[in-house]
Amino acid sequence: MGERLKILVTGGAGYIGSVLVPKLLREAYLVTVLDNFMYQQYSLLDCCHYQSLQIVRGDVRNEVLVKELIQKHDVIFPLACITGAPACQRDPFLAKAVNLEAIKTLLHYRSPRQIIIFPTTNSGYGIGQDGIFCTEETPLRPVSLYGKLKVEAEQRIMESGNSICLRLATAFGISPRMRLDLLVNDFTYRAITDGFVVLFQAHFKRNYVHVRDVAKAFLHCLNNFEAMKNQVYNVGLSEANLSKWELCQEIKRQVQNFYFVEAEVGEDIDKRNYIVSNEKIEKTGFKAEISLAQGIAELIKGFQIIRRIEFSNQ
C-alpha cells in the first residue's frame, strides 16, 4: 500500500467516521469525506487544518456527485448509513435509499481495481442458537429492516470483488459525533442521569466493540488487504458476549446507585439474540483491545459533558 492512497469516506462525519478519519489523516492518507451532516454535527472541525483532508457536503443518493468522487479515489469506505433498527423502521424509504440503493450506485461506478472496506453488522445473525457462537459461516437471519438492508448490501459488495466486509458488533464509547442510542452508551447514560433502566428481554445477548477498535479494524484491513480481501469478518470484543442484564451489572460496578429491573410486559423493537466468534479476524493479527469496563469509565466522564438528547439516531 502506498503512503498517499486516496480514500473516500462516505458518512465520514458520523459516529465511526469521526474516529476513523483522524486516524487516517495521522497515517498520511489523502482523505475525502462525503457527508450531509444530517445531525448538525461539528465532529471534523479539529481535522480541518490537514491539507490532506477534503470535505464535501453532499448526499450519497446524489448519483452525479458520487460518480465524480469515486473516480478520484483508490479506496472507498462506505460508512453513510441510516443506522439502527428504530431509525430504519421510522423511515423505511430513506433507509433503503441510503443503506442499499446508494451502495448499488457506488458499485456501478467503481472500477475493479478500487478497494472497498464496508461495515455491515452482526445483527444479520438475528436470533442465534443458545450457547452456539455465530461465525462468518452461520446463516444470516436478520429480524429488522436495518439488518436485512445491511445483509443485502454486504452480499452485493462481496459479489463485486476486491472488497472486505466487517460484521461489526454493537459499538460503544465516546466519539466526537456521539450517539446515545447504542446500547452500552444508552444504558450508561441512563445510569448517570436517571439512575435506573427497565429492561425488555433482559436475557437476550449480543457482542460489543469499542468505536476506536472499529476504526483500528479498518486500518488493519487496509494494511493487510491482499491477505484478507474478498472475505467477511466478525469484529467484536471476544470477552463481551453479554446479555442486557449482564451489561447492567457491568455498569453497576462503576455507577453504584444504578437500579435495573426486567419488565414483565412489553418487548424491545430490536429482538436479536446471539453470541459471536471473532476468531477469524483475530487469526489475521487483529484483536479488539478496549474493554467494556474501560469504555464505561470513558462514557461516565463523557456524560459529565453531554446532557443533551439530540445525540441519537432515534
pLDDT for 2-34, tens place per residue? 458 999 999 999 999 999 999 999 999 999 999
Domain assignment of residue 58, yes or no: yes
pLDDT: is 163 or 86 the higher one?
Answer: 163
Domain assignment of residue 151, yes or no: yes
Domain assignment of residue 314, yes or no: no
Domain assignment of residue 126, yes or no: yes
Domain assignment of residue 241, yes or no: no
**C-beta of residue 119 within 8 angstroms of C-beta of residue 166:** yes
Query: pLDDT at residue 269 above 80?
Result: no
- Mean pLDDT is lowest, of 142-146, 263-267, 274-278, for 263-267
Quickly tell me which residue has 423505511 as its cell: 92
**Model confidence over 147-199: pLDDT tens digits?**
999 999 999 999 999 999 999 999 999 999 999 999 999 999 999 999 999 99
Domain assignment of residue 205, yes or no: no
Domain assignment of residue 110, yes or no: yes
User: CATH no. for residue 37?
Assistant: 3.40.50.720
Rounded distance between C-alpha atoms, residue 182 and residue 203, angstroms:
17
Query: 152-163 as b/e, with b when 16 or more CB fall inside 10 Å?
Result: bbbebbbebeeb
**C-beta of residue 214 within 8 angstroms of C-beta of residue 171:** yes
- Mean pLDDT is lowest, of 18-22, 198-202, 231-235, 306-310, for 306-310
Rounded distance between C-alpha atoms, residue 184 and residue 255, angstroms:
13
Domain assignment of residue 135, yes or no: yes
Domain count, the chain: 1
Enclosing domain of residue 122: 6-171+210-235
Q: What is the pLDDT of residue 108?
A: 97
Strand pairing report for 231-235 and 163-168: parallel
How many residues would you count in the chain?
314
